[in-house]
Copies of this chain bind each other. A is one copy, B any other.
Amino acid sequence: RVSSTLTEAAAAMTDNGMMSRAKVLTIDNMNPTVKKVEYAVRGPIVQRAVELERELSEGMKKPFAEVIKANIGDAHAMGQQPITFFRQVLALCSYPELLSDSTFPEDAKSRACRILQSCGGFSMGSYSASQGIDSVRQDVAQYIQRRDGGVPCDPDNIYLTTGASDGIVTMLKLLVCGEGTSRAGVMISIPQYPLYSAALAELGAVQINYYLNEEACWSLDIPELQRAVNEARRYCNPRALCIINPGNPTGQVQSRQCIEDVIRFAAKERLFLMADEVYQDNVYADGCQFHSFKKVLFEMGPEYSETVELASFHSTSKCYMGECGFRGGYMEIINMDDDVKAQLTKLVSVRLCPPVPGQALMDLVVNPPQPGEPSYNNFIKERTATLSALAEKAKLTEQVLNTVEGISCNPVQGAMYSFPRITIPEKAVQEEKGQAPDMFYCMKMLEETGICLVPGSGFGQKDGTYHFRMTILPPKDKLQILLNNVKEFHQRFTLQYS
């Protein structure tokens, strides 16, 4: 070890002949689990998109006038407007002198006062309790209770988080343990949202893949779960099952029956359930409805409701509000062992508290204007407009993509993405051995059209199939152009490599 360090150091002569020290921290001696982390949603293709934007702004000629980032569920960046009431309250909380401004509606003021009264020194600049502001957790609990038709919710089981990602990583952290064949395994869907694979890689846990059934609208089939867990038990200790509903990147909405079956499976196989439900308001397809895991669990009676351990995650970043930048979110934990819960509370205290503006926003999401309050009508108008536009764009995306030969697309029942399957000619697959074929495809599309998508390989897919994820967030007229450009690109690409 010492001699290799000396060799490195000796090799590191600078141009002016001065002896330079070798780096203390190098790619060879850094944390190996960090190196294994991958996060396609902000991967190389997005870095190239940022470069292209810079090149365009510097006047470089490109075959397109702007880069359209359809790679990430970033609603406001795509022009979606924030809910006025939410932003009024946030402004009042930021600068309470505005409480005497008569142009602000009374309900916004009273909401702001309630939030500030729960903050130390009446200021969002104070740390909150690590679990989150008490009154916000109470409002979250009431929201969940209303949402789930009266199933009780204890504010003590609510933890406010820095976006949903923070809560998911924290829960996974608790579950990790063991070495060798006792190493903790976590079941995730394929395709998945790459936060899961990234967190598992970083934590050194085993990723257990179960495949969603693309032929049946990305349904979750119990036999496939069973296959995955059986195989996994040979080499690790499966401890948790993660579900994303509505699905990301796949956009399916699970039926009540499916959720019940998943809960039975988790109980039988002794798995901790993690339900990523951040798209709970993003349901568009006729006949589809959001069912929370919590509600279904409680409808299954005490054999399940008093035993199955569940964590459910929500966020301010999606649905009709799309407030990603504020990093608000919560998790609800159910049937968690008391001692483990105490450890969870201790663990979150090390990071002091989630951002207070994000907590305030989460409070507004779970406790929006009520009928009879001055802001109610406008709130409903804004929320409805956003959700109807999304529903329309979900349908448009599916329709246009399915007109293209070589692209096939399941209905976007919910969430914010389409994840169509694409046929990539064998010649293109052969030609680009250095990278995944769909990365090659998406990179080429970016260079030629300015459209930034994420290749399916970043989410996982069955071997030999190729996809991309595209958000449905651009404004309708822009989305129409984008879809036509995708269509033309696909036809050109197919021709070129046939």
Contacts and interface: CB of A to CB of B under 8 A. Distances in A.
A436 interface: no
A354 B166 CA distance: 11
Interface in A313-355: 321-327, 335-337, 339-340, 343, 346-347, 349-355
A272 B350 contact: no
Interface stretch (A28-36, A215-223, A404-412, A419-427): A28-36
A162 interface: yes
Given A34-B343, A325-B128, A351-B166, A87 B94 contact: yes
Contact of A355 (B1, B82, B239, B325): B325
Contacts of A14: 306
A318 to B, nearest CB: 11
A243 interface: no
Given A14-B306, A337-B23, A325 B175 contact: no
B358 A355 contact: yes
A446 to B, nearest CB: 17
Contacts of A303: 18
Residue among A119, A337, A350, A353 having the largest count of chain B Cβ atoms under 10 Å = A350
A42 interface: yes
A124 interface: yes
20 contacts: A5-B270, A14-B306, A21-B308, A25-B272, A27-B343, A30-B340, A31-B176, A31-B177, A37-B346, A37-B350, A77-B120, A82-B125, A87-B94, A91-B98, A94-B94, A125-B322, A324-B353, A326-B357, A355-B357, A355-B358
Interface residues of A, number: 103
B270 A21 contact: yes
Contact of A21 (B125, B175, B307): B307
Given A26-B337, A39-B350, A162-B162, A76 B126 contact: yes
With most chain B CB atoms within 10 A of its CB, the pick from A35, A308, A340 is: A340
A72 interface: yes
Interface in A34-67: 34-35, 37-39, 41-43, 50
Nearest to A195: B350
A82 B122 CA distance: 11
A356 interface: yes
Contacts of A43: 349
A121 interface: yes
A451 interface: no
A7 interface: no
Interface of A: 1, 5, 14, 18, 20-21, 23-27, 29-32, 34-35, 37-39, 41-43, 50, 72, 74-80, 82, 87-88, 90-92, 94-95, 98, 119-121, 123-130, 162-163, 165-166, 173-177, 182, 195, 198-199, 202, 239-240, 267, 270-272, 302-303, 306-309, 321-327, 335-337, 339-340, 343, 346-347, 349-358
A86 B110 CA distance: 23
> Lowest 6 A-B CB distances belong to which pairs?
A77-B120, A325-B356, A91-B95, A76-B123, A27-B339, A42-B349
A321 to B, nearest CB: 8
A90 B80 contact: no
A327 to B, nearest CB: 4
Contacts of A124: 325-326
A87 B95 contact: yes
B30 A343 contact: yes
B177 A30 contact: yes
A174 B25 contact: yes
Given A25-B337, A165-B350, A173 B77 contact: no
Given A41-B349, A76-B119, A125-B324, 20 more contacts: A23-B309, A24-B239, A24-B240, A24-B272, A25-B272, A25-B309, A25-B336, A25-B337, A26-B340, A27-B340, A34-B174, A72-B127, A77-B120, A82-B123, A87-B94, A87-B95, A88-B95, A90-B95, A165-B352, A202-B350
